Structure 1
């Protein structure tokens, strides 16, 4: 190898071989040595703030099923991005997050823009955090980062790279290697679990986000149909793993200990596949399971197996487990099918004019939603109405935040649309976002406009943090300040960032604007004034 071959040359060659040719970032001074002479065969996606940058990369990686590369600005940019990093970690999104570091020779004197504890800063929200001990180790660190990010449970990793490393001479070409990305479940334990399922008289199946992420949608349907048992989804899911219009679908689990106990009452076995046991939010005390109810958990995540308060767990790829289980279970001929869940789908005339109800808004969107459209949901107080009118019926078509922090949905929509484009898929992204959530990362719509992405942002403008008001009632905390959001002109913001935008006064206007939004080459922001409502937390 020539003496002039640098760490920069070798690393970019490695990134090409790994398929990491899209970089999400907001450039800073400590990153310019990495970004210099940016190759023509790479794409740089500019976001206007690092939280949005990482959220876009998260959506991109989820849409493509492959790692995304993020480039942040030293400690300051990493700090901006950490809220979105939490969501990526909770959603098991494979990301390689890089941040610039000050020049090695100056680090001892703590210069301006040095990240004095670079590897500690993103923890515990990454699987691995590393700053190479020497410049020559940078390419190998990227290879290790890729391997760790893609091993189950997948997730983000972090590399801090001093800015002067990139021009140093390389030792040689980067070593490209492969590693397993799936783990087979223990066959003996799987057989034991199948025997317990076969002995159950009244089993209940709960599908979690891991199933959709693992490509197990069809395997899940086959398992549920052979078992003939009712199917629930997890509370607050970031992915949906079973068609919500299927005859076996009976809804979602509640968010509390007491609520889950009531929901699984009458079943002698609860089978949790690809989810935590359980995802709780408000504390409403109770027993974890009713007396006489047992629980089996299938997950690829050792942490979720470890923190389960009840039941027995099996580690391994949930798609593989489901495919194996279909051949192992035997269903009693006399098992009765569950009563299919039926949502009331009615809209009164009084709901159709501004301020409209969320029920009416979702009904209007449902009337014209393309069958293959993606729904990105971040309007927490209107989740039940969204489920009623926009059920998930196809794999990889519903996304929500994995962490509960708001501000993820807008940039993630941008990333999902970019991911679809990268893999040659054409479909509309429908982002149903609360007005409070929209403001957290509104600058991400600029990137959507620059790339002319097919996104319809439907902003439910109720003028408050409704979900927090619901919590105030649940927690008996009256007079909490800061829950009102007056004076926001969201349509003007949409126009200012380069999007088509409109505020609608009734459902007829909404349907007309939504249909128009499906036609243009670029994103649209539709503001729908809505009435505040209870989030149904209890």
Structure 2
């Protein structure tokens, strides 16, 4: 007797190693989840954005694709912010949603995904609703192939709820593999190598793709052979280079004029594994200093196409680093531009008045000294970035995660997914998330999943009762009197306890250090609220 579409699909997923499903169940998804197999794991969240964020963190930490199941058009819409982030993070996710019964689709009943292939665009690489139930298993195979090929990213499948119990007939999708890396063109590689070898004062700009490709060793090798300073690309979501290395210069600002000023004095710059460039506030200026030649290496053709300046080469960033290291001539001259300028990053200054609370910098210094050396840091506290990077230089690979999009609400569920990956993989590194009291509210439901999974996750919440980063934009944009920039009355401890976490507040260095130590021995998550002095941080 022919197997059902569900049986064939779940067998395919077994063979592909995709046995963990993140989701928030809905009526149109229950037919997919019916008689859920014992050898599969369902990670439940209380909202779809949390499901996507947790799956993204899990996939990045374990370097595997992940499946997310959301509820038709309503759930997909709820998840869109974190789908945007997954796309910019280049995370391979297969996002699935049910749709209404095929027999009713023509009249568009309640909760129909009316245009299922259109809704998640442009943030998915492929969007598809199978024409026949029998096509569902093969659609999963194609989805995996597309999601994992460079540039990796999320894909979407819409599946009518009555497809799962239909007979699969002769449908028997072939398990196949696809390549995940693109080698650079040899002639272009040699050209770039010659340009770097003959440069008087080259500079390297590294991006998150190096970290995704486990390329720290290769990144160090090229930097040391060229004896050139290394900048992290603007707003880099993964750390591409050890921040305690003598050649590390810091993170580039994400605005045209200031970024160009940082590169002054160099005749050649090469950007590897990042966009050219990631900007946010408009600060006029040149893209790069006059007379500078810019080279760009990426595995993303669209990223190469939209770069406003520079000569591009398509290729896997880590393979390209290896090839360039073989090509370039060694340099003995010290860099003409001083490195370690990251120590001079502008910090927030508290407004005039007496503040009993500690500064964000003091808090982060206590966290770094109290947490184990191998702690994984997750960050969504945009008001305090300079202080965090000053107090907590990232010196180990795969130990820092944040969002590529800047869309709040990703990092808390991602921290849950990362902590789950540490637990299930047996690595068991501690995971500490620094989440602002405003940012915490965007996907706060993820705390419940952390509690249900008994993850020893520490969520530290610097509480300033304001959207301080927006006050910074108000200064840059000259927009006084904007309402809604203060957020008083939040009881972070009660919220943590309400979701099943250990909620606690601390305000002294001794109490904070004690709570950090206790959190990593606790069988479950901790939410640690720490009042910090309100500040207006410099934006650049």
TM-score exceeds 0.5: yes
2:463 equivalent among 461, 473, 488: 461
Q: Give 1:442 shift.
A: 0.9
Distance 1:338 1:292 in 2: 16
The aligned counterpart of 1:53 is: 51
Q: Give 1:225 shift.
A: 0.9
TM-score under structure 2 length normalisation: 0.96
Distance 1:494 1:334 in 2: 54
Distance 1:305 1:339 in 2: 29
Contact 2:355 2:533 in 1 (8 A): no
Contact 1:434 1:461 in 2 (8 A): yes
The aligned counterpart of 1:169 is: 167
Give the 3-state SS of the residue equivalent to 1:30 in structure 2: coil
Q: Give 1:422 shift.
A: 2.7
The aligned counterpart of 2:207 is: 208
The aligned counterpart of 2:27 is: 29
4+ runs deviating over 3 angstroms: 332-340, 350-354
Q: Does 1:355 align with 2:353?
A: no
Q: Give ranges in structure 2 of 5+ residues lacking alignment.
A: none
The aligned counterpart of 1:390 is: 392
Contact 2:225 2:331 in 1 (8 A): no
Contact 1:354 1:506 in 2 (8 A): no
The aligned counterpart of 1:278 is: 277
Contact 1:352 1:506 in 2 (8 A): no
Residue range with higher mean Cα deviation, 336-345 or 451-460: 336-345
Distance 2:317 2:353 in 1: 43
Distance 2:494 2:366 in 1: 23
The aligned counterpart of 1:320 is: 319
2:156 equivalent among 158, 173, 184: 158
Cα RMSD of the aligned pairs, angstroms, is: 1.9
Contact 1:93 1:155 in 2 (8 A): yes
Q: Does 1:226 align with 2:228?
A: no
Residue range with higher mean Cα deviation, 141-150 or 336-345: 336-345
Contact 2:265 2:337 in 1 (8 A): no
Distance 1:332 1:214 in 2: 26
Residue range with higher mean Cα deviation, 81-90 or 389-398: 389-398
The aligned counterpart of 1:531 is: 533
Q: Does 1:470 align with 2:472?
A: yes
Contact 1:93 1:154 in 2 (8 A): yes
Q: Give 1:340 shift.
A: 4.1
Contact 1:351 1:357 in 2 (8 A): no
The aligned counterpart of 1:298 is: 297
Give the 3-state SS of the residue equivalent to 1:279 in structure 2: coil
Contact 1:300 1:315 in 2 (8 A): yes
Cα distance per residue 1:370-407 (max 9 Å; x no partner): 11111101000100010011111111111111111111
Q: Does 1:502 align with 2:504?
A: yes
Distance 1:458 1:221 in 2: 32
Contact 1:353 1:505 in 2 (8 A): no
Q: Give 1:516 shift.
A: 1.5
Cα distance per residue 1:124-159 (max 9 Å; x no partner): 000000000000100010000000000000000000
Cα distance per residue 1:507-527 (max 9 Å; x no partner): 222112112112212111100
Q: Give ranges in structure 1 of 5+ residues lacking alignment.
A: none
Distance 1:449 1:200 in 2: 54
Contact 2:19 2:39 in 1 (8 A): yes
Give the 3-state SS of the residue equivalent to 2:407 in structure 1: coil
Contact 2:366 2:513 in 1 (8 A): yes
The aligned counterpart of 1:20 is: 18
Number of aligned residue pairs: give it. 535
Q: Give 1:352 shift.
A: 13
Q: Give 1:351 shift.
A: 13
Distance 2:289 2:102 in 1: 59
TM-score under structure 1 length normalisation: 0.97
Distance 2:324 2:416 in 1: 37
Give the 3-state SS of the residue equivalent to 1:361 in structure 2: helix
The aligned counterpart of 1:89 is: 87
Cα distance per residue 1:427-447 (max 9 Å; x no partner): 111100100000111110111
Alpha-carbon distance change, 113 to 531 in structure 1, aligned in 2, over 3 angstroms = same
